[in-house]
Amino acid sequence: MKAEGPAMTAPLPAPDPLAPPLCDAQGRRMTYLRLSVTDRCNFRCTYCSPASWGGKKDLLDAGEFERIVSVFARMGIRRVRLTGGEPLARPDILDIAKRIAAVPGVEHLAITTNASRLESLAGPLRDAGVTQLNLSLDTLSAEVFRRISKQGDFEAVLRGIDAAAGAGFQSLKLNVVVMRGINDAEVPELVTYAHARGITPRFIELMPFGQGTPVPTAELLERLAASGSVLTEEPQESAASPTSGPARYWRMDSGRVGFISPLTQNFCGGCNRVRVASNGDLRSCLGGRAQAPLHQLIRGGATDAELAVAVRRALGEKPEGHRFTEAGNGATLLPMMGIGG
């Protein structure tokens, strides 16, 4: 009788690169895609868009953005934010928003905007499927506005914010980049302005991408307390939540106030974000230059699985933190409008 050899087993199938979860080198789960649709802007804010920035060439079209989002959604992305530059500067922004909002798996679609074009676009964006707007406003003074941005229509911004407040979005946030000696004294006034319109203000420590001096979050909290505000810190949202972000929130009688503190309260440990620039470059971290050229793969005929492999490879090199505070690191960073925020 012939002796029986060891039982033969079929080889295990290779893992599906499109199957969630999508994790980085530290095991942090990515659920949030920040997608820049343009690096052009009708403003020139000192901390974001230096005069020397010439912009990228060959930006992606609406169909390519939709393709990228669909791949990320299959990998576990649930929240998408359209950034810039100024995303509303794209003439096809409503088409882009509508396409992305319809991608299976996308549960939240947000846009960060300077609000200057919202007077006519707030309602159409909501109808296209946008659920949240983050509105950039650093000052309530026309004079200070001109110091921060040499271009831009201050009154159009205020009208756009009012239009957004009346358009029925699920969530509105007011982003304020705080600069010492420029707008830091306006923090209480900006809180009152935002809460009067049902908007949550968020104060952001200036990051080392341009001009200006940052103001620590602790100092802003002291300033609000000195103005008579009573603040109670809210529990931090779980980083595993698809809607979580880097902000920490406090409650006041009139509403919530958020603080984003990349320098003094590093938020990298709970990072759930991946960024794609307007030309299709995937950037695994806001504070670095490592990238994956998704646009070249798409235009070269790559399959969705091949795109997913490139994404996972790039995230496998994502650093533990942004290293903004390391000496000399600012010189290696792209301007904010070149990254997509």
Give the C-alpha separation, 30 to 32, whole Å.
6
The response to whether 32 counts as a known ligand-binding position is no
**Is 1 part of any known ligand binding site?**
no
What lies within 8 Å, CB to CB, of 29 at 6+ separation is 21, 22, 23, 76, 239, 240, 272
Q: What is the dihedral of CA 275, 278, 282, 287, to 10 degrees?
A: -60
275 is in an annotated binding site: yes
Q: Is 248 annotated as a binding residue?
A: no
Q: Provide the 8-state DSSP code for 130.
A: -
Alpha carbons 313 and 336: distance in angstroms, whole number: 24
H or E segment to which residue 202 belongs: strand 200-205
Check the annotation: does 23 bind a ligand.
no
Contacts for 42 with CB less than 8 Å, ≥ 6 apart = 86, 89, 114, 116, 151, 152
- 271 marked ligand binding residue: yes
136 annotated as belonging to a binding site for a ligand? yes
How many Cα atoms sit within 13 Å of 109 on the Cβ side? 22
DSSP 66-116: HHHHHHHHHHT--EEEEESS-GGGSTTHHHHHHHHHTSTT--EEEEEE-ST
Q: Which of 124, 100, 125, 91 is nearest to 276 (CA)?
A: 100
User: Does residue 45 have a known ligand-binding role?
Assistant: yes
Q: Is 285 annotated as a binding residue?
A: yes
80 class by beta-carbon count within 10 Å (0-12 exposed, 13-18 middle, 19+ buried): buried
Decide: 285 and 322 in contact? Cβ < 8 Å: yes
User: Considering just the CA atoms, what is the radius of gyration of the chain in Å?
Assistant: 21
Q: Within 13 Å and on the Cβ side, how many CA atoms surround 47? A: 21
- C-beta neighbour count of 211 within 10 angstroms: 13
Q: In whole angstroms, what is the distance from residue 14 CA to residue 11 CA?
A: 9
> Is 289 part of any known ligand binding site?
no
Residue stretches of the annotated binding site for GTP: 34, 81, 112, 173, 273-275
Residue stretches of the annotated binding site: 34, 41, 45, 47-48, 81, 85, 112, 136, 173, 207, 268, 271, 273-275, 285
Residue stretches of the annotated binding site for [4Fe-4S] cluster: 41, 45, 48, 268, 271, 285
Residue stretches of the annotated binding site for S-adenosyl-L-methionine: 47, 85, 136, 207
